[in-house]
Amino acid sequence: MQLIFSPASPYARKVHACLVETGQKPDVEFISVKTAPSAVAAEARAANPTGRIPALVRSEGPAIYDSRVITRYLDARAKAGLYPESRLWEVLTLEATADGILDSALSVVYETRFRPPEHQSEDWITAQWDKVAHAVKAVNDRWMSHLAGPVDMGQIALGCALGYLDFRLDSRGWRKGNDALDDWFAVFSERECMRETAPHD
């Protein structure tokens, strides 16, 4: 298998972390690409018609894409139990919350990194960060008992989302008022799948 990815992409990090957690990293060749909203890498376009990463190229079938599709595939392939049937909807909801945090965080990053200053919208940035802040607070207030359970893909996705906030938007201070989640993240960040996949440009 080949993983089309970027080491700075939080969605690619989710897949990379899943590979580490399930012991499948040796089965994958990593193809690192540089991509941006207005400059799609040829390898990404060949694997995914939208040009987005990550994409997983398989020998037994067509390439698959969207991080949640890939992680479900890898979990099934390894029979790893990262999507346990007994709490599947909670895991999927937590993963969707983490991806929602990433969607809005990336909107902020794209607005400030890829648009000229005269075309940037402070109202848009504020609205997107407000979504991030509300989602982080909801996890802190409602999900800590779930985060204390056996590791699953929801936890890995959340770890990658919070790691991205530290990586690109640290000055916005997601930890303020979210002490329980901050404590959890400090411990979870030491997990091998998190240490080995730390983002970088």
Query: Cα dihedral angle (83, 84, 90, 94), rounded to 10 degrees?
Result: -30
- Give pLDDT tens digits along the chain (201 positions): 999 999 999 999 999 999 999 999 999 999 999 887 778 899 999 999 999 999 999 989 999 999 999 999 999 999 999 999 999 999 999 999 999 999 999 999 999 988 899 999 999 999 999 999 999 999 999 999 999 989 999 999 999 999 999 999 999 999 999 999 999 999 999 999 999 999 998
Largest CA distance in the chain: 51
2-78 and 85-195 share one CATH topology?
Answer: no
CATH, range 2-78: 3.40.30.10
The strand pair at 64-65 and 29-32 is best described as unpaired
Domain covering 85-195 assigned CATH 1.20.1260.60 in the classification: no
The residue to which tokens 């346990």 are assigned: 84
Residue 18: partners with Cβ closer than 8 Å, 6 or more residues away: 24, 70, 71, 74, 75, 82, 153, 156, 193
Q: What is the pLDDT of residue 37?
A: 75
Q: What is the pLDDT of residue 45?
A: 93
Name the residue ranges covered by the structural domains of the chain: 2-78, 85-195
